[in-house]
Structure 1
Amino acid sequence: MDIKGRLLLLLPLFISGALSANFTFTNKCPYTVWPATLAGGGKSQLSLTGFELTTSSSSSLSVPAGWSGRFWARTFCSTAGNFRCNTGDCSSGQVTCNGAGGAIPSTLVEFTVGGNGGLDFYDVSLVDGFNIPVSVTPQGDSSCNSTSCVANINSICPHELSVVDPNGAIIGCKSACNTFGDPKYCCTGDYGSPVTCPPTNYSMIFKNKCPLAYSYAYDDKTSLFTCMGANYLIIFCP
């Protein structure tokens, strides 16, 4: 199952009285990042679809009950002329993404707020590759689990999956599916089920470094989390 399919699976059955959630984004990277948001499944875009987040700063965003979508950070962006980023770019030419998705590879945070039974569903996904570490921590309910990918996968990314900047530095690590398009890596065609699409040597590179994150399409058992009535702290480079 690809990320789009998983978001459809997590689409909420609206529950009257479900609570909105407040998300705080904090940047602990030694450089500015530009977080982006994208609604899925026909949901309305949030009030902010892209914004600047300098080192050591935070920004908050209210997410309504019933919303489903993703967050990610764009990195190494140029603000001279048309806005462009080396990773996660949404190709809008401006800081806001306005409903456009991010370029691969990007570390994704996926959420459904107030879904089935009023639960929030969330995960960190590397199915579209990795650009920077991220963590998700529920606030206000100590019984809910955090999730993350805190390792710098760029430092161990195989050459064939690497994305490099003009100076040759590795700034992203693509998935095998993105790189090769082979059904056995993408879990499509004859490999379109959990039985026929097991982990691969490539997906295990991601899983070994970030055991709580999705490493490939059918990585649900260790990577999907739920909580109810919480707010959330998302830290880039935790």
Structure 2
Amino acid sequence: MNTRVVLCLTLAVLLYGGNAITISFKNNCQFTVWPATLNGGSSPALSTTGFELTSGASRSVDVPSPWSGRFWARTGCSGGAGNFHCDTADCGSGQVECNGKGGATPATLAEITVAPNGGQDFYDVSNVDGFNLPISMAAQGGTGDCKESSCKANINAACLNDLKVTGSDGSVIACKSACVAFNKPEYCCSGEYNDPNKCKPSTYSQFFSTQCPQAYSYAYDDLKGTFTCNGGPNYAITFCP
């Protein structure tokens, strides 16, 4: 093997731990969703950044360690290559693959930081960017707490009037967070409120917290929103659990 190739492979192992976990996706919704993946920071892009998942279907994706990023599901998608678009959580790429673009708000997120060498993973389900459909994220194996993180309630059905996003037929298809709806520092934990001692729960974040007690309801909801697991487990993400 070429010396340069060997060196590149060696560096890859050192950087990404030489191990991989598997994240499986299951669509329990009564409709098709289009899951999307986005790597964070210096983490590499995964083998897919977006795909179609019909009702009842499953798919798995390998994730290197260490790795950090997020997953979400788009809904109401249509159009062909160059004209692909979605009613909620659209990534704006014009294709099924998001190609490094994040999802439009509001969107329910599943986020994870995979540790190297079977260390401590951190994961959560977040409504900080709002909600478009229920999600759960569960460790499969591992050691430690390894509890399921989820937002299983249909928040769209209970969404407050000033947070509602409606579709062409007038039905509620997503629910904005206060930060997305009003873009104020006290809701977004930005500017002078970029401090957990200053950015406190609001009436709006408490609404999300009541609906989904295990999910992040605002940016500094770490105490109840963050979950951990050790030992390099795989993970299962379910839409409409």
* Superposed pair shares fold, TM > 0.5: yes
Distance 1:35 1:124, change over 3 A: same
Code of the aligned partner of 1:144 = C
Change (3 A) 1:184 1:115: farther
Q: Which amino acid aligns with 1:54?
A: T
Aligned in 2, Cα 1:46/1:16: closer, same or farther, shift over 3 Å?
closer
Letter in structure 2 aligned against 1:49: T
The match for 1:227 among 202, 212, 229 is 229
Residue 92 of structure 1 is matched in structure 2 by 93
Give 3-state SS (helix, strand or coil) of 2:52's partner. Answer: coil
- Residues 115 and 162 (structure 1), Cα distance of their counterparts in 2 relative to 1, 3 Å cut: farther
CA displacement, residues 87-132 of structure 1 (integer Å, 9 cap, x when unaligned): 0101111100000000000000011111597211100010000000
Q: What's the offset of the Cα at 1:201?
A: 0.2
Question: Residue 56 and residue 184 in structure 1: after superposition, are their counterparts in 2 closer, same or farther (change >3 A)?
Answer: same
- TM-score, length-scaled by structure 2: 0.89
Unaligned runs of 5+ in 1: 1-13
Q: 1:169/1:196 Cα in 2 relative to 1: closer, same or farther (>3 Å)?
A: same
The answer to whether the 8 Å contact 2:159/2:175 transfers is yes
CA distance in 2, matches of 1:19, 1:113: 11
| RMSD value, Cα | 1.8
The residue that corresponds to 1:58 in the other structure is: 58
**Following the alignment from structure 1 to structure 2, what is the Cα–Cα distance between the partners of residues 91 and 203?**
27
- Measure the CA separation in 2 of the matches of 1:16 and 1:37: 18
Structural mapping, 1:1-238, within 5 Å? 19-80=19-80, 82-114=83-115, 118-141=119-142, 143-228=145-230, 229-238=232-241
Structure 2: give runs of 5+ residues left out of the alignment: 1-13
Deviates more, 1:22-31 or 1:116-125: 116-125
More deviation in 117-126 or 66-75?
A: 117-126
8 Å Cα contact 1:126-1:215 kept in structure 2: yes
Corresponding residue SS for 1:204: helix
* Displacement of 1:190: 2.2
The C-alpha deviation readout for 1:190-235, integer Å capped at 9, x for no partner, is 2221111110000011000101100001100011011121001100
Distance 2:137 2:72 in 1: 12
TM-score, structure 1 normalization:
0.90
Following TM superposition, by how much is the alpha carbon of 1:66 offset from its aligned partner in structure 2, in angstroms? 1.2
Matched residues, number: 225
Greater shift in the superposed pair: 147-156 or 111-120: 111-120
Q: Distance in 1 between matches of 2:70 and 2:117?
A: 18
Separation in 2 of the partners of 1:58 and 1:25?
A: 5
Q: Give the C-alpha shift of residue 65 in structure 1.
A: 0.1
**Alpha-carbon distance, 1:20 to partner:** 1.9
Q: Distance in 2 between matches of 1:231 and 1:189?
A: 37
* C-alpha separation in 1, matches of 2:179 and 2:85: 25
Structure 2 counterpart of 1:63, one-letter code: V
Report the counterpart of residue 4 of structure 1 in structure 2.
none
- Aligned residue identity for 1:231: N
Cα–Cα, structure 1 residues 88 and 31, in superposed 2: closer, same or farther, change >3 Å? same
Identical-residue share of aligned pairs (%): 56
